[in-house]
Every structure is written in C-alpha cells, then in structure tokens.
Structure 1
C-alpha cells in the first residue's frame, strides 16, 4: 500500500512530541517566599553599665566653682546635669578642643578639663574656675561637710564644715552670702551671727525629704533662717 508523504510527516511529528519530557511547572508563590532571605532583626540596645551609661544613673562629682557649690552628674560623654543651689541645668555634649564640654544651648556650659578641673559658664555671669571636692564618708552627696542643705525658689545653699565647724550660706541664687565662723551646735541644727550681725539659723528634721525640682531624695528636711527670712529645703549628713 502506498503511503502519502503528508501522512508520514504527521505521524513522525506525533511520535517526537510523545518522547519530549514534561515541562517543569512554574515555581509557586510559597517557593519564592522561602527563597527570599529574611530581614535581619533590629539591633537591641545594650543595658547600661553599673557605673552609669545608657540606662544608668551616671557618675556624680562635686565641684567648688568660685563662690558656688556645683554638683555635676555625667552620663558617659553624652550628657550632664549640673545642679547649682536651686538651679538645675540639663546639658548635652559639645565639641571641645580637649576635655569634655556640655551646654544647654542657652548660654550655660560646663567644661571639664582633666580629672579635677573644670570651667563653669553661666549666661550673663563671669566664668568660674572649678575644682573637684573630695567626698567624705557617708553617701558622698554632702562633700566634705558635716551637713549640706539646698532649697529652691529662690535657690539657696548652706554648708556646715566637717573638720572645723563653720557655716557658709548662699541665698537668693548666690546673690547674698553669709559666713558664721563658729556657730553654736544644738540637737537639731546650728545657729550664730554672720560678720555683718545677721542672725543665721540652720535646722534639720531627720525625715526623708524629696527635692521638688530634681526629684532627688535626701536624708533630712532643712530650714534656713537669715534674719527674718526663712527658706525651706532638704539636706544630707556627711562624715566628720
């Protein structure tokens, strides 16, 4: 029997197609997701060191800056809180040629230059050279004093020397200063006359006191009388 060429070509085409391997199906969406690498987890902030840092309380140093007592709390090299009597300044780090400098952007700055020296600049006032005050036994917040008290609105500071009893008083944000060379010590405080004859009395009550501005907790409530003017605040006892 004669076979037509057209029929032969069709038969060969069917045979070849039957021998081809099955086409691989397209990858599913699930396959694509599995192949895509997962994003890296966000970094976790490290906890602060015990001596201060990101979440720590910071390191506190006491300074005597000219006629002012200054308490500076440093959070590593990023920020500092500077407390002067009843005033508190929150400062952040600034560029400095040496040491560590902090400012509040309002014309106030504190610049540490070495382990013990610093420079205090307050807006509208002359710069003050500062020296670190060595802490004594106790909680360290009273410096080298038997008792140290502060108050706010207006800011005031009273310090009773630990070794040679004497009473120094700054009131009205440091605008007025009095010194009682040898105050009389009683069960609840000290009393005496300043060089100009002003009556000075610093008394305390041994009960927990919290500063209304900074939130700091002190060992005692304090009351300062300068003449007929009275000031209220909080205080800490130092080592004698």
Structure 2
C-alpha cells in the first residue's frame, strides 16, 4: 500500500537555475514524529508534470505506507493512504524533523530510517522501501498502481506471488500467485478465494493527493469492492 526529472527552461536564466544541485531537507526539532532526508537510492527529481516538488521516498512504517516528499530545506508532505500532512522543518539533535503543529511529525534518522508520530497513535519506526516497490515509478515491476480514500496499493512483478494487493490503508492484504494476464490487466483468485482484478487504461492520470502524474488510470476490484487510482508500467 518510492523519481522526479527537472523541467526544461525556456531561457538561459531558467536553465542555469534548473541545473542547481538539489538540496536535502534541513534538520528540524520538535513534534511527536519525525522525518529525514530521502535516501539517495530512492529519491529522484520531480516528474515532468509536477511543479518543482522535491525528493520523494516511500517508507514502510509498521502497518502503514508513508510517502514523503521533501520540498527544499523547509517543508515536507507526508501522504498516508487518504491522509496528507503538510509539515514544516523543526530543530532536531540529528537527522531532519518535520511537524504540522497538530501533533503529527516525521523524523528521518540516517539514510533510510525514520520515526512517524501521528496524534493519538503510538509512534511507528519506518524504513525506506526500494524504488522498485514504492515510489512514483513502477521500477522493475510490470505494473504498479496506487489510490486514495481508502488508500490501496497493487504491484504486478512477474514473480511469485505475481500480484500483491494492499487495500483499506493496508488493513487487508491479498496475493495472487499466478494471475491471468489480459490486454488491459490481470485477474485471479487470492489464497482465500477472493476474486482479484487489476485493470488499466493507458491515459494520463494525476494523483489527487500528491499531484503526481502517472502513465495510466487503474481500477482494482477485490471481490465486489472497487478502488480507483493511477499506475505506472515498468520492466518485467
């Protein structure tokens, strides 16, 4: 249930500006949870359809997937399922810490570890997920799709299990060992007999929460429940 190329400038001044090296988020302090700079192995420059967003990394935080976008040195946006938290940097003894002033924070510690604190919930230790599993691209997966409200993730990787699905913010997980591939998607049965179908439409799709641009619209059916989102294609 994780990358972004720089835009071409129309003038020499813009070109020179675009060539400046990307900055990692500055250290911060305060708050219940924290965030650190995105690992270089997972982060990337903003997508061509973006508006200058910074480095982005997917973290696995206990039972939750958190997508953190670090915007320059002063801000970060953390998306968890259908929830989005806009945070500002705060001082921290080490790493980089971001908080929204409402009891939510994200604190990165080291190159691939972080601490997520959500108001009213126990702190969660986080680890960066490899780009092939979880940033905006599909990486080595044949297809990777995500959606919001409720948050879901589906990955087709060609290995066993061939189709992995997390729905309802990661509360339910299904795997289909050998899904049947069709012209517009994959279908099969999970181990418990639940019918799973992941289909796509090759047209530009924009994530409503992050603003990310994807290669395809995606629809996931789990039993009689349907989920809508966006997806990218990768290498099998």
Q: TM-score, normalised to structure 2's length?
A: 0.69
The Cα of 1:52 is off from its aligned counterpart by 13
Cα RMSD for the two superposed structures: 28.1
More helix by share: 1
Q: Quick check: 1:52–1:75 contact (8 Å CA) kept in 2?
A: no
Higher alpha-carbon deviation: 117-126 or 90-99: 117-126
After TM superposition, give the deviation of residue 98 of structure 1 in Å: 1.3
Structure 1's 228 and 42: CA in aligned 2 closer, same or farther, altered over 3 A? closer
List runs of 5+ in structure 1 lacking aligned partners.
Answer: none
Partners of 1:123 and 1:72 in 2: CA distance? 18
Does structure 2 conserve the Cα–Cα contact (< 8 Å) formed by 1:133 and 1:143? Answer: no
Cα gap change, 1:72/1:163 in structure 2, threshold over 3 Å: closer, same or farther?
farther
Gaps of 5+ in 2: none
* Counterpart residue number, 2:74: 78
By how many angstroms is 1:128 displaced?
2.6
Q: CA deviation at 1:175?
A: 2.8
Q: Secondary structure of the equivalent of 1:10? A: coil
Determine the C-alpha separation between the residues in 2 that align with 1:85 and 1:2: 14
Matched-pair contact (CA < 8 Å) for 2:58–2:65: yes
Give the CA deviation at 1:158: 1.7
Could you say which residue in structure 1 is the equivalent of 2:140?
144
Say which of 209, 214, 219 aligns to 1:218.
Answer: 214
Alignment pair present for 1:174 and 2:170:
yes
Q: Deviations over 1:9-49 (max 9, x none)?
A: 9999999999999999999999999999xx99999999xxx
Give 1 or 2 for the bigger CA radius of gyration: 1
- Give the TM-score normalised by the residue count of structure 1: 0.68
